[in-house]
Amino acid sequence: MSTPPHVRDKTMTPEEVVDRLRSGMTIGIGGWGSRRKPMALVRALLRSPVTDLTVISYGGPDVGLLAAAGRIARLVTAFVTLDSVPLEPHYRAARQRGAFALTEVDEAMFMWGLHAAANRLPFLPVRAGIGSDVMRVNPELRTVTSPYGDGEEFVAAPALRMDAALVHLNRADRRGNGQYLGPDPYFDDLFCEAADAAYVSCERLVETRELTENSAAPQTLLVQRHSVTGVVETPGGAHFTSCAPDHPRDEPFQKAYAAAAADPAAWAEFAARFLPPDGDEKGYQQAVRAWHEEQK
C-alpha cells in the first residue's frame, strides 16, 4: 500500500495511541455493552501505566477490565453488561467494594450528552431523569424550563466532553475515514466528535477507494477524518465482543472471561495467560486461538 505524499498518514500502533493518553484524562469508549468495543486499545491501556481515568461508556467488558485493573476514578454510564451474560462480574465487584465514583445516567441522557459535546453546547434538554433517582445520585444535575407557553421542565443533560475517544470499526483508511458494516453504528461518530482526540482501530486498513468498492453505500462511512487523530489496524481488535459482519461475539470465550472474573484466583490465572503486562495484541490473539484449540 503506497501513500501519496500529500496524504497525511495517521496510522499508529495500539502502544502509540496509549502513549498519547495521560493519567487523569476523561476517555470515551465506543461500542455498546459487549458489542464492537475497541478491546485491543483497552488491552494496550491495561499494559500501560495510565490510570485515574474518567471513563465514559455504554459499558461492557471494557469497563470490567479497566475496573479490575483499578484504572477508573470515575465512570459515566447508563449500564454495564456483557449482553448474553447480563451482569459484568468485575464491574459488579468494583461497585460493591466502592472502588470508584459513578455518574449513573439514563441511556438517552447519555446520548444527548454526546450530542451536546459534539455540538459544543453545555447541555441539551431531555424528558428523562426527573422523578427518578438519577437526580438523587447526581445532585449536580440541573433542570431547565421551556421558555415557550408550555413551561415544561426538563433535565439539562450535561455535555459529555472528553479528552480522547477510542472506537473500533470494520474498515478505515490511513486518513481516518472509518466505516461500519454491521447493523448498528452505535454512537461511535458522536464519541469521535465529542473528543479532543479520537483513535479509530479497525479490522482492516484499506485504501480510500476500497471503502466504497462492491457498492458499499456512502452512509456506511460513519466516521470522518476531520474528527480522527489516529488509525490502528487491529484484526480481531473487538474480541471478545461482537464485530458484525467480520466476526460474532466469542460466546465461549466471554463465558470463560465471566467465570474467571467472578473468582479472584481464577482471574489471576486468566489475566496471566491472556493479559500479561509484557505482552502485546498479537500474543493475545495467539493465546485466544490456542485456548479455542484446547476446547475442541
- Contact residues for another protein (CB under 8 A)? 32, 59, 77-81, 86-87, 91-92, 95-98, 104-109, 111, 126-134, 136-137, 152-154, 183-187
CB closer to another protein, 3 vs 84: 84
Beta carbon of residue 32, minimum distance to another protein (angstroms, whole number): 6
CB closer to another protein, 21 vs 105: 105
Beta carbon of residue 85, minimum distance to another protein (angstroms, whole number): 11
Measured over the CA atoms of residue 52, residue 56, residue 60 and residue 62, the dihedral's sign is: negative
Beta carbon of residue 282, minimum distance to another protein (angstroms, whole number): 31
CB closer to another protein, 129 vs 230: 129
CB closer to another protein, 19 vs 107: 107
| SS3 per-residue string spanning 106-174 | CHHHHHHHHHHHHCCCCEEEECCCCCCCHHHHCCCCCEEECCCCCCCEEEEEECCCEEEEEEEEEEECC
Distances (CA, A) of 184 to 169, 188, 222, 243: 11, 10, 10, 10
Beta carbon of residue 62, minimum distance to another protein (angstroms, whole number): 14
One-character DSSP codes across 177-223: -EE--SS--TTHHHHHHTEEEEEEEEEEE--GGGGGGGG--GGG--B
CB closer to another protein, 186 vs 199: 186
Beta carbon of residue 21, minimum distance to another protein (angstroms, whole number): 25
Beta carbon of residue 189, minimum distance to another protein (angstroms, whole number): 10
What are the φ and ψ backbone dihedral angles of 54, each rounded to 5 degrees? -95, 115
Residue 225 carries which DSSP code?
Answer: G
CB closer to another protein, 59 vs 61: 59
Cis check for the bond before 125: say yes or no (omega within 30 of 0): no
CB closer to another protein, 4 vs 151: 151
The residue among 153, 156, 101 whose CA lies nearest residue 125 is 156
Please answer whether residues 161 and 26 qualify as being in contact, where contact means their C-beta atoms are separated by less than 8 angstroms.
yes
Beta carbon of residue 84, minimum distance to another protein (angstroms, whole number): 11
Q: What number of other Cβ atoms are within 10 A of residue 295's Cβ?
A: 8
